[in-house]
Amino acid sequence: MSYDLLKTKNLTKVFESGFLRKTYIKAVDNVNIFLKEGEVVSLAGQSGSGKTTLAKMILRVLEPTSGEIIFKDKNIWRDLKGLKDLKWYWRNVHIIFQNPFSNFNPFYKVDRTLQQALELIGIDPDSHEGKQLIREALEVVGLRPDETLGKYPHQLSGGQLQRIMIARAWIIKPKLLLADEPVSMLDVSTRGKILELFLKLRDEQKTTVLFITHDFGLAYAVSDRVMIMYRGKIIEEGTPDEIFFNPKHKYTKELIESVPMLYRKWKFEL
Amino acid sequence: MSITELLYVLFNNKRFMIGFGIILFQLLLSFMGPLLYPVDPFSTDNPPWTPPNEVYPLGTDRSGRDMLAMIFHGIRNSLYVGVLTGLFTIAMGLVVGLISGIKGGILDEILMAMTNIVMLIPSVLLAILIITYIGYENARLELVAFVLSITAWPGFARAVRSQVLSLREREFVYLSKIAGYNSLKIAFQDILPHLATFTLVSFVNYINLGINGEVGLSILGLTPMNIMTLGKILYFAAITQAFILGKWWTFIPAGLLQVLLSVSLLLIATGIDEVFNPRLRGM
């Protein structure tokens, strides 16, 4: 339980734009994080703070400018060669994106997303076993297979689509699941149920979840550890209680202040 | 939407229907005409400069060629050149645009540099050079279409590339990628379907470009002499001074059909665009 599943060393990503007069944007700036097996870690921060960039680099779809990402003693940008290694990595590290509607290609039925998962773990989607697994996964996330399979994305609701994404993660059973604001597009009543599914995944399969959010309230509710990201840097890290009751950085205080709560009127500073 | 639903919407679109009707009429002319009116368009056995009468429905030109037969064969060959130009252009543009957009990096730089260079070459000049080099006696309709598409593809390639650049950042593309799909599979399964309507509209527009380009090259006398096209009819009218002599039957019908063909293709293109682009619906 104690070894690090994934860690980053001085991870930096600089976006450059322009041709003659170049402008540089440091999206992720010298980030050192570690993730242990079976924990839910939240990465909170405002939009544009580099959360998604960090997730994409960990997912190995966006190349970092400098720094290393080590997963199970392998530097993922240097040691993984060929599609076989990459498939191994993506079997272990998977992602759920923010917008349930853009997770699905509108030209295909939602089944495709789950069939891709089966292909990734080497099961023929047309086999009896594969079909059985898809139905099972859908039942785990609380969907009725007969009502879900064979539908196009626009025929289902955001909550249903996001559940299908979790079913995909359930089929793949990754060691690390990156959840990039998985509930921010959903209504509040659906949120709780989706969050429960993440915790279930953690409890049943020992999946580490990196939960990316801009909502400190959510981060506080689900995670074992919280990291606060601000302008590309991790400015604070600790258990939710530590950070909630004893925030050190000015931005963290603002973030906590901005969580709407019952029985408290919002104070606006004009 | 299923295919039948799509077709239903498409055929309910007025512009598309009018354009489609005209094209269908011209296709019928070009395929049924030679069967019902089996006259050799190159035969010079008829009296010259005959105005339209019972024997020669559209008259004859200075060499005594039958105008109606010329038009029947002309439409068919003009459409052939057009469709071929469309196919060539779309094929080249899609390949370059897709590779450039998906692969990126140095390959993208090279391909885009090439595209920019080709874009700068004046199309008619290049066509004249190529055909003069090969010799117009050896030139065939396929070569005419090829020459026309050689300078037409860069615009389409750039448009495809920019769409691919935006599509490849979409989440479902990432999800296909992390499911272990290679670039080729992603290109065909995730990206190409999104380009389908744009490609279809462009295809129709490039058919148009091919037909008009062929007329342009024909009037310059750069297309094969032994194949009748609408452009060739206008060319014959021009070299026999029919415009000056007022022999209207040698160029008005062919010119009208050519304009009609162009208009109908434009109508089809805008019709398809209206149906598939929700922002244009109901306009």
Q: A41 forms bridges with which residues in the sheet?
A: A210, A225
User: If you measure CA to CA, which chain A residue comes closest to B180?
Assistant: A87
| Among the partner residues B171, B177, B179, nearest to A103 by beta-carbon distance | B171
First vs last Cα of chain B: how many Å apart?
A: 21
Over residues A32-63, the pLDDT tens digits come to: 999 998 889 999 888 888 898 999 999 998 88
Residues of B in contact with A125 (CB under 8 A): none
pLDDT of A189: 80
Over residues A113-161, the pLDDT tens digits come to: 999 999 999 889 899 999 999 999 999 888 999 999 999 998 898 889 9
Residues 171-230 of chain B with CB under 8 A from chain A are: 171-172, 174-182, 189-190, 193-194
Residue A64 φ/ψ, nearest 5 degrees:
-70, 155
Tokens 């540099």, located at residue: B113
What average pLDDT score do residues A164-177 get? Answer: 91
What residue segments make up the domains of chain B, in order of their start? 3-38+69-280
Tokens of B29: 């002319």
pLDDT of A134: 93
Instruction: Kindly tell me if the per-residue pLDDT of A183 is higher than 80.
Output: yes
- The helix/strand count (H/E) of chain A reads as 10, 11
Give the CA distances from residue A7 to residues A3, A32, A54, A73, in Å, rounded to whole numbers and listed in that order.
10, 7, 12, 9
From the centroid of its chain, how far is CA A141?
17
Q: What is the ipTM of this complex?
A: 0.88
User: Which long-range contacts (C-beta less than 8 Å, at least 24 apart) are formed by A34-37?
Assistant: A34/A4, A34/A6, A34/A7, A34/A8, A35/A4, A35/A5, A35/A6, A35/A7, A35/A176, A35/A208, A35/A210, A36/A1, A36/A2, A36/A3, A36/A4, A36/A5, A36/A208, A37/A1, A37/A3, A37/A5, A37/A175, A37/A206, A37/A208
Q: In sequence order, which residues have a C-beta less than 8 Å from that of residue B66 and are 6 or more positions away? A: B39, B40, B41, B43, B46, B56, B58, B60
Exposure on the CB side of residue A69, measured as CA atoms within 13 A: 21
Antiparallel, parallel or unpaired: β A66-71 and A74-75:
antiparallel
Tokens of A161: 């689509």
Tokens 């009609």, located at residue: B260
Q: In sequence order, which residues have a C-beta less than 8 Å from that of residue A179 and are 6 or more positions away? A: A95, A96, A198, A209, A210, A211, A212
Per-run averaged pLDDT (10 residues), chain B, 283 residues: 79 91 93 90 88 89 90 93 96 95 90 94 88 82 92 94 92 91 91 92 95 92 88 92 90 93 94 80 53
Residues of B in contact with A117 (CB under 8 A): 179
Rounded CA gap, B224 and A196, in Å?
74
Residues of A in contact with B175 (CB under 8 A): 95, 97, 103, 113, 116
Q: Is A237 helix (H, G, I), strand (E, B) or coil?
A: strand
Instruction: Kindly tell me if the per-residue pLDDT of A2 is higher than 60.
Output: no
Residues of B in contact with A59 (CB under 8 A): 174, 178
Rounded CA gap, B195 and A2, in Å?
49
Give the CA distances from residue B21 to residues B157, B214, B215, B216, B268, in Å, rounded to whole numbers and listed in that order.
30, 23, 23, 26, 10
pLDDT of B283: 47
Instruction: Kindly tell me if the per-residue pLDDT of A270 is higher than 70.
Output: no
A120 touches chain B (CB under 8 A): yes
User: If you measure CA to CA, which chain A residue comes closest to B194?
Assistant: A107
Antiparallel, parallel or unpaired: β A225-230 and A208-213:
unpaired
- Set out the domains of chain A in order of their start, with CATH numbers: 4-257 (3.40.50.300)
Instruction: Kindly tell me if the per-residue pLDDT of A221 is higher than 90.
Output: no
State the sign of the Cα–Cα–Cα–Cα dihedral A125, A130, A135, A140.
negative
B35 touches chain A (CB under 8 A): no
Tokens 């004009």, located at residue: A270
Sheet with strand A208-213: strands edge to edge: A93-96, A176-180, A208-213, A40-45, A225-230, A233-238
**CA–CA min distance B193, chain A (Å):** 7
User: If you measure CA to CA, which chain A residue comes closest to B195?
Assistant: A107
* B180/A103 touch (CB, cutoff 8 Å), yes or no: no
Q: A26 forms bridges with which residues in the sheet?
A: A14
The percentage of chain A sitting over the pLDDT mark of 70, rounded to a whole number, equals 96
**CA–CA min distance B171, chain A (Å):** 5
Give the CA distances from residue A50 to residues A54, A179, A198, in Å, rounded to whole numbers and listed in that order.
6, 14, 23
pLDDT of A264: 67
**CA–CA min distance A114, chain B (Å):** 10
Rounded CA gap, A33 and B277, in Å?
45
User: If you measure CA to CA, which chain A residue comes closest to B196?
Assistant: A107
| Among the partner residues B170, B171, B176, nearest to A116 by beta-carbon distance | B176
**CA–CA min distance A81, chain B (Å):** 13
Q: Is A28 helix (H, G, I), strand (E, B) or coil?
A: strand
pLDDT of A269: 62
| Among the partner residues A90, A98, A105, nearest to B172 by beta-carbon distance | A105
In the structure, what pLDDT confidence band is assigned to residue A1 with cuts at 50, 70 and 90? very low
Tokens of A157: 């609701």
Rounded CA gap, A134 and A263, in Å?
44
Tokens of A259: 């969580």
pLDDT of B281: 60
Residue A30's H or E segment, with its range, is strand A23-31
Residues of B in contact with A99 (CB under 8 A): 171
CATH fit for domain B3-38+69-280, picks 1.10.3720.10, 2.40.10.10, 1.10.10.10, 3.30.465.10: 1.10.3720.10
* C-alpha angle B9-B10-B11 in degrees, rounded to nearest 5: 95
Residue A12's H or E segment, with its range, is strand A4-17
Residues of A in contact with B171 (CB under 8 A): 97-99, 102-103
Q: Which of A213, A227, A207 is nearest to A34 (CA)?
A: A227
Antiparallel, parallel or unpaired: β A176-180 and A208-213:
parallel
Residue B215 φ/ψ, nearest 5 degrees:
-60, -45
* A116/B175 touch (CB, cutoff 8 Å), yes or no: yes
Residues of B in contact with A113 (CB under 8 A): 175
Tokens of A75: 């530097």
Q: pTM here?
A: 0.86
pLDDT of B12: 87
What average pLDDT score do residues A60-77 get? Answer: 90
Q: Which of A110, A168, A112 is nearest to A136 (CA)?
A: A168
pLDDT of B138: 76
Residues of A in contact with B182 (CB under 8 A): 83
Tokens of B245: 């002599």
Q: B173 forms bridges with which residues in the sheet?
A: none
Residues in chain A: 270
Give the CA distances from residue A162 to residues A99, A142, A183, B25, in Å, rounded to whole numbers and listed in that order.
8, 11, 8, 51
